[in-house]
Chain A
Amino acid sequence: MTLELMAGDQSMLQGEHGPAVAAAMKILVAFSKAVGARKLLDIAGAHIDGCLYHGQAGFDFVERLVEGGGSVRVPTTLNVGSFDLIHPGLVKMPAAEEVPARRLMKAHLELGCQATFTCAPYQTRFRPAFGEQIAWGESNAIVFANSVIGARTNRYGDFIDLCCAMTGRAPAWGLHLSENRRGQILFELTGSFEPTDALFVGVGLIIGQASRDRIPVISGLPQPRDEDQLKALGAAAATTGAVALFHAVGITPEAKTLDEAFRGKAPEETIRISRADIDHALARLSSVPDGAPLVAVSLGTPHFSHHEWMRLLPMLRHIAPGRGIPIYVNTGRATLTRLKDEGELESVKAFNLIPVTDTCTYVTTIIERLDGVVMTNSGKWAHYAPGNIGVSVAFGEMEDCIRSAAVGHVVRGAP
């Protein structure tokens, strides 16, 4: 199988757009051959998961592109880094680590990437449209773009996302192509379910674990209250598994009917999900029982949307937690700016609310006390935080998190 390059690809490869673009194209070509793509296609945008420091190689790669005088050729957003540039002092990091962490974020800006520093680029003005070809890194963003929006990306990451951005091209393979977006495994919810936040997390955890490399289709899911519930489902599925695309019948844009989701073919396997399965999956997220004393609450993984803030703020004012338990909310800097402009944060200052931007409370050292239980409404945070930062976790609905902060220990099943 040979890779056919267009004249524009050839000219990039031959250095007519400078050494950085040539390097990116060279790597992209090698990668495209390695995955058996026959040609490259144009992308409308990229999202780069390259700002977390994972070692010298990642650092050297970006610096080499900066030295080559390159910049991205399509609108390109950035995922979180290890630093909150808007709230200096929030992240506690030794100077030896802070220097490369800050440099990595800055180097990407020098390449022309947008200073979004969010894991939810779909909440920004760079949100792609249905059917658009994009090259995105960050597992929750990938599954959201493919499933909820119907844009098209593979699971890019580490180096290749940036090569696509620098060239405006991606290999024509995998989920970029219609024939590879067909559902393969059916998950049937049996019984009737209320559209609680926890339900969507639970379904995500289950399909992530059981889908392996097959594209899951979910039937029987109640209409979500908002897209944040689908965000939570996708993030959970991409946490327990490698799901890059799911279809929810009657909900997501490529699955108006079961038949459309499977493109008229039969599912390879059908798995039924009961209320007990959901409860079981959710129970595994919590390592402590109700009543355990809390040290913090963490919300907003993936980053809290403006809509989620609009749900949280009245809850805060109503419940008025005042026990000094910090409530961290990870959110995009653009979302926070909008909230500040709207004056929404003034009335909740007394409630130990700590907005975090540009990063996330489970990838870096923000939370003051790690010696106790942190409560979250995020399946993804609950899964990764114990390993990443060594905390115990209690999972619950957003309102349970705020009520727990008010009483100082874990309470669930708030009215």
Chain B
Amino acid sequence: MSEQASRALKGRALNRVGSFQLAGEAQGSALVLSQALSFWGGLDIETGDIIDRSHPGLGQNVAAKILVMASGRGSSSSSSVLAEAIRRGTAPAGIILQRPDPILAVGAIVAEFLYDVSMPLVVCDISGIVSGDRIAIGLGEDAQAIVSRIQPAIGPAAPRRQ
């Protein structure tokens, strides 16, 4: 790796401590949403596609991603939708929020109880995470959540090796 590339990558290093609403480990490509998504009415549980026509993420797919957004939104029926998406394997691998959300927490907790599938839900600072970053959620000391970037998004911000 060139010195320049190494510096650029270091400049975007990310290793952050957060708290768990539901503990677990996950890895995946980040999908950062600029607006909160209501899972009820906003997500196609058969595919994981975002179907809310008023949402800027319309058409993107959340399955197996690390979904990153400021907060949850909307009706308590979103708990059922998230639990159902986890059961079907169309849910994100993990969700990172800036502010805690009781409704998403319920969906994740119940899905883990029913189907033994863990989908960690983390609250931490989400600034600096961009879509396409490869993100790992891990368990830290004192039940803290560790969010780290293991590979930056491929794009102008991450210079390719010559």
Give A contacts to B, CB under 8 Å.
23, 26-27, 30-31, 33-36, 49, 54-58, 60-61, 64, 137, 139, 155-160
By beta carbon, the residue of chain A nearest B88 is A56
B69-104 vs A, Cβ < 8 Å mask (1 yes, 0 no): 000000111111101101100000000000010110
Measured CB to CB, the closest approach of chain A to B70, in angstroms, equals 13
Distance A54 CA – B105 CA, assembled complex (angstroms) = 18
Complex interface: chain B residues within 8 A of A155 (CB): 76
Query: Could you tell me the distance in whole angstroms from the C-beta of B42 to the nearest C-beta in chain A?
Result: 14
Output the residue of B21, B102, B103 with the most chain A CB within 10 A: B102
**Shortest Cβ distance from B150 into chain A, in angstroms?**
26
Asked if B136 is at the interface of the complex by the 8 Å CB criterion, the answer is no
Q: Assess the A34–B109 pair: CB atoms within 8 A.
A: yes
What residues of chain B have their CB less than 8 Å away from a CB belonging to chain A?
21-22, 45, 75-81, 83-84, 86-87, 100, 102-103, 105-107, 109-111, 113-114, 121
Given known A34-B109, A35-B100, contact A61–B114 (CB-CB < 8 A): yes
Expressed in whole angstroms, the minimum distance between the Cβ of B104 and any Cβ of chain A is: 9
Task: Contact check, A57 vs B76: say whether CB atoms are below 8 A apart.
Answer: no
CA distance A27 to B111 in the complex (A): 10
Say yes or no: B79 contacts A158, CB within 8 Å. Answer: yes
CB distance from B85 to the nearest CB of A (A): 9
Option from A23, A27, A34, A157 in Cβ contact (under 8 Å) with B76: A157
Secondary structure dominating the interface of A: helix
* A156-B76, A158-B106, A160-B106 known; A64-B114 Cβ under 8 A: yes
**Bound-state Cα–Cα, A30 to B106, Å:** 8
Write out the residue numbers on chain B whose beta carbons fall within 8 Å of the beta carbon of A61. 83, 110, 114
Q: Which 7 A-B pairs have the closest CB atoms?
A: A157-B76, A158-B79, A34-B105, A57-B83, A34-B21, A55-B84, A57-B84
Q: Which residues of B contact A139 (CB under 8 A)?
A: 75
Is there contact, CB below 8 Å, between A54 and B75?
A: no
Contact between chains at B111 and A35 (CB < 8 Å): no
Contacts of A27 in B (CB 8 A): 106, 109-110, 113
A30 adjacent to B84 (CB under 8 Å): no
Do B80 and A54 have beta carbons less than 8 Å apart?
A: yes
How far is it, in angstroms, between the C-alpha of A33 and the C-alpha of B19 when the chains are bound? 11
Across the interface, which residues of B come within 8 angstroms of A23, CB to CB?
A: 113
Other-chain contact of B75, A30, A157, A159 (Cβ < 8 Å) = A157
Other-chain contact of A34, B84, B87, B111, B121 (Cβ < 8 Å) = B121
| Known pairs A54-B84, A55-B45, A57-B83; A30 contacts B109 (CB<8 A) | yes
**Which of the residues A36, A64, A158 comes within 8 Å of B100, measured between beta carbons?**
A36
Q: Is the CB of A35 within 8 A of B87?
A: no
Contacts of A34 in B (CB 8 A): 21-22, 100, 102, 105, 109, 121
Q: Is the CB of A57 within 8 A of B113?
A: no
Chain A to chain B contacts (Cβ below 8 Å), 14 pairs: A27-B110, A31-B109, A35-B105, A55-B81, A57-B86, A57-B110, A60-B114, A61-B83, A64-B114, A157-B75, A157-B103, A159-B80, A159-B106, A160-B106
Q: How far is the CB of A239 from chain B (nearest CB, A)?
A: 11
Q: How many angstroms between the C-alpha atoms of A49 and B45 in the bound complex?
A: 21
Closest to A154 in B: B102
Q: How far is the CA of A162 from the CA of B77 in the complex (A)?
A: 14
- Shortest CB distance B44–A (Å): 12
Q: How far is the CA of A208 from the CA of B79 in the complex (A)?
A: 22
The minimal Cβ–Cβ distance linking A191 to chain B, given in whole angstroms, is 34
Additional A-B contact list (17), CB under 8 Å, known A30-B22, A34-B21, A61-B114: A23-B113, A30-B105, A30-B109, A34-B100, A34-B102, A35-B105, A55-B84, A56-B84, A56-B87, A57-B84, A58-B80, A61-B110, A157-B77, A158-B79, A158-B80, A158-B107, A160-B106
Task: Please name the residue on chain A nearest to B74 by beta carbon.
Answer: A242
- Contact present for A137 and B76 (CB under 8 Å): yes
B102 CB contacts on chain A under 8 angstroms: 31, 34-35
* Shortest distance from the beta carbon of B107 to any chain A beta carbon, whole Å: 8
Q: Is there contact, CB below 8 Å, between A54 and B109?
A: no
Residue in A26, A55, A137 whose beta carbon sits within 8 Å of that of B113 in the complex? A26
Task: Give the Cβ gap from A208 to chain B, nearest Cβ, in Å.
Answer: 13
- Chain B residue nearest to A53 (CB atoms) is B80
A356 to chain B, nearest CB (A): 22
Query: Taking the nearest CB of chain B, how far is it from the CB of A79, in angstroms?
Result: 12
Cβ contact within 8 Å between B80 and A55: yes
Among B86, B105, B110, chain A packs the most CB atoms within 10 A around the CB of B110
Instruction: Determine the residue in chain A with the shortest Cβ distance to B113.
Output: A27
Q: In the complex, which residues of chain A have a beta carbon less than 8 angstroms from the beta carbon of B100?
A: 34-36
Name the residue on A nearest B101 (C-beta). Answer: A34
Alpha-carbon distance A159/B111, docked complex (angstroms): 11
Residues of A within 8 A of B80 (CB): 54-55, 57-58, 158-159
